[in-house]
Each structure stands twice: as C-alpha cells, then as structure tokens.
Amino acid sequence: MTFNLPTVSMGSGFELRFIDLFNRGHAFAFPCDAQGHVDMASLSERARSNYLFARAVVGRQLSRPCVVAIES
C-alpha cells in the first residue's frame, strides 16, 4: 500500500497518521513524539490547517490517528 502523505520532516522519528476511510492509500501525517503529541507551533501554516482539518473529520472521512515510528 502506498500512502500520499503530506509530511513535515522534523527528525522526530514518529508520525501521527490519519488514514482516509474512502480513498485507500491516502492519508495525512504529521511529525509527533512517541505519545502522539504534535507541536503545532513548528508546523507551517498549511500543515497546521491540514492538522486541524484532519482532527475535525475523524470518524467521518479519516480514521482515528495512530502513532507510527518512521525511519530517519
């Protein structure tokens, strides 16, 4: 499965992913810590807007987020 993930790489080692419920392979991903906390101040304006959108449509358009360890 290939994901089209709009990410902001910050070298954190973790991403918070919201997977699209209707378009397999589409998702939103944001850098986070191991507990899933996203530092909104470090996001660009567009990424912050996407993050707030993703949180707002959980259960209707996107899955509940999951924390995923990523390779650096």
Instruction: State the pLDDT at residue 72.
Output: 66
Rounded-to-integer distance, Cα 4 and Cα 18, Å:
11
Task: Calculate the average pLDDT of the chain.
Answer: 88
Contact, 34 vs 14, CB < 8 A? yes
Domain spans in the chain, listed from the N-terminal domain onward: 14-69
| pTM across the whole model | 0.79
pLDDT digits (tens, 9 = 90+) for 50-64: 999 999 999 999 999
Concatenate the DSSP letters of all residues of 5-62 into one string.
------S-SEEEEEEBSSSTTBEEEEEE-TT----GGGS-HHHHHHHHHHHHTBTTTB
pLDDT digits (tens, 9 = 90+) for 3-19: 455 444 445 599 999 99
pLDDT digits (tens, 9 = 90+) for 23-60: 989 999 999 999 999 999 999 999 999 999 999 999 99
